[in-house]
């Protein structure tokens, strides 16, 4: 926080189901994100986005952070951390405050008070609020206001999109990070971070559905008119496809994962009948031949199920007809061949693969441009947003102190008159 802008360095920690990635970055002179280093490790203690083994997760975090420190030359002490999982819920709520200082303009402090009040909402036992996201403001019954700062008004209201999660899940993440000798700056919903990394402003304005296909879950974030309108978590991801291949082909899980990554396709029609791949047999047994068309059939069945769940959430949001930007697929699962075509076929919506290169400068870390690291890059970007917010708040508080500490010109004039009169009275007494 005390560094100059060009020295500010932010680290993002993506605790996923299949991998834990730590990304370190800084902003260059053009405002682009320059990735200084990255570390990743296998995630053994996380299932469907939720920590299931504390010690294994701590060990994986330490390994990823150590690799990131070695590659960037930076000592990491604080991180922005992502949170996901099927325990994530979202709701809509309206908040309101009545302003007492009627003659003053609406300031950031009024908005902060409105948002802070939302964090005090009564939740179900075991749940807590993770994010409070303003959608639109209402000033004295005037609706559709995006930024009320500078306006005059007595009654300030806002519609909020509120994201909640289980207290235990958030605490376990914080516990793992703390035991890895790190501090958490912010806990951020992963699809929001991914959206920052792969979506452009034009897509957010036109309306777009971001679909982040991870190892354990598929996360959805729907934007329209620059505002997040809907979030959802589907409890299926790339690991379910791997398990299907393992069962369907009667092979080891590691072999199934390798097959999926190297030869997997989301469209069986794109594979020929005579294409096969050989898998080594166990303990001297004969190698096993697996048809790539059969492999694609297994993958397509599960991907169709995931996409249909996604499409159901898009229709449930009521924004299906307002998403001119279509669907953007990201995350490790989006790297499946022909997935874009399958998504367009099922939903009828234009689809692209989202790469986290929208805000990136050229860097020596080439792997970071993969959709696999969209969440990690987004967590770093969110870290710079956090620094900017706190910098602006500090400037506002400083200017406020200066304003109150300076005497007014009128007060100063009367002070001089009184002083002069007192001096004259003393001279007469003498």
Please spell the DSSP secondary structure of 31-96, one letter per residue. Answer: S-EEEEEEEEEE--SEETTEE--HHHHHHHHHHHHHHHHHHHT----EEEEEE-STT-EEEEEEEE
Residue 7 has pLDDT above 90, yes or no: no
> What percentage of the chain has pLDDT greater than the value 70?
90
Number of domains in the chain: 2
Q: Which domain holds residue 116?
A: 89-164
The enclosing domain of 110 has a CATH number of: 3.30.1490.110
Q: Are residues 108 and 243 in the same domain?
A: no
Of the three residues 164, 193, 221, the one that is the final residue of a domain is 164
pTM of the entire predicted model: 0.85
- pLDDT score for 396: 66
Could you give the CA distance from residue 82 to residue 323 in angstroms, rounded to a whole number? 26
Q: Is residue 84 part of a domain?
A: no
Comparing 389 with 143, the larger pLDDT belongs to 143
- pLDDT score for 116: 93
Task: Give per-residue pLDDT as tens, 260-269.
Answer: 999 999 999 8
Task: Give per-residue pLDDT as tens, 277-333.
Answer: 888 877 777 888 889 999 999 999 999 999 999 999 999 999 999 999 999 999 999
Of 45-49, 102-106, 125-129, the poorest mean pLDDT is in: 102-106
Task: Give per-residue pLDDT as tens, 200-230.
Answer: 999 999 999 999 999 989 999 999 999 999 9
CB-based burial of residue 269 (10 Å sphere; 0-12 exposed, 13-18 middle, 19+ buried)? exposed
- pLDDT score for 411: 40
Closest CA to 184 of 258, 77, 46, 286: 77
159: left (phi over 0), alpha (psi -120 to 50) or beta: beta
Residue 29 has pLDDT above 60, yes or no: yes
Q: What is the mean pLDDT of residues 354-369?
A: 83
Residue 1 has pLDDT above 60, yes or no: no
pLDDT band at 412 (very low <50, low <70, confident <90, very high): very low
Q: What is the mean pLDDT of residues 141-165?
A: 92
Average pLDDT, the chain: 87
Of the three residues 334, 357, 380, the one that is the final residue of a domain is 357
């Amino acid at each position: 926080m005390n560094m100059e802008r060009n020295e500010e360095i932010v680290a993002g920690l993506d605790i996923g189901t299949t991998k834990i990635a730590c990304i370190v970055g800084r902003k260059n002179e053009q405002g682009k994100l320059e990735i200084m280093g990255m570390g990743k490790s296998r995630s053994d203690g996380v299932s469907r986005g939720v920590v299931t083994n504390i010690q294994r997760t701590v060990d994986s975090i330490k390994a990823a952070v150590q690799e990131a420190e070695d590659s960037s030359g930076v000592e990491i002490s604080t991180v922005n951390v992502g949170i996901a999982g099927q325990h994530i819920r979202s709701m809509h709520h309206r908040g309101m405050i009545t302003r007492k200082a009627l003659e003053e303009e609406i300031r950031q402090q009024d908005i902060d008070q409105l948002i802070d009040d939302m964090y005090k909402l009564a939740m179900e036992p075991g749940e807590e609020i993770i994010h409070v996201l303003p959608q639109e403001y209402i000033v004295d019954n005037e609706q559709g206001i995006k930024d009320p700062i500078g306006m005059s008004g007595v009654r300030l209201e806002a519609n909020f999109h509120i994201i909640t999660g289980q207290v235990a899940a958030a605490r376990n993440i914080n516990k793992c990070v703390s035991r890895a000798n790190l501090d958490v700056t912010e806990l951020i919903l992963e699809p929001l971070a991914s959206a920052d990394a792969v979506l452009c402003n034009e897509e957010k304005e036109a309306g777009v559905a971001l679909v982040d296909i991870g190892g354990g879950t598929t996360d959805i974030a729907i934007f329209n008119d620059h505002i997040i309108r809907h979030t959802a978590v589907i409890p299926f991801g790339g690991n379910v496809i791997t398990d299907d291949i393992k069962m369907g082909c009667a092979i080891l899980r590691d072999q199934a994962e390798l097959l999926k990554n190297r030869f997997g396709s989301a469209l069986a029609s794109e594979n020929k009948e005579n294409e096969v791949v050989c898998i080594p047999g166990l303990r001297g047994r004969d190698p096993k031949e697996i048809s790539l068309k059969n492999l694609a059939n297994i993958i397509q069945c599960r991907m169709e199920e995931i996409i249909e769940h996604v499409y159901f959430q898009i229709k449930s949001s009521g924004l299906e007809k307002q998403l001119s930007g279509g669907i953007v697929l990201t995350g490790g699962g989006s790297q499946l061949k022909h997935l874009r075509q399958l998504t367009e076929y099922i939903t009828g919506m234009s689809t692209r693969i989202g790469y986290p290169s929208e805000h990136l400068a050229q860097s020596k870390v080439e792997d970071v441009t993969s959709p696999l690291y969209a969440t990690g890059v987004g967590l770093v970007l969110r870290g710079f947003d956090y620094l900017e917010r706190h910098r602006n708040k500090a400037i506002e508080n400083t200017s406020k102190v200066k304003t109150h500490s300076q005497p007014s010109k009128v007060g100063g004039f009367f002070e001089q008159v009184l002083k002069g009169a007192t001096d004259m009275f003393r001279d007469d007494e003498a």
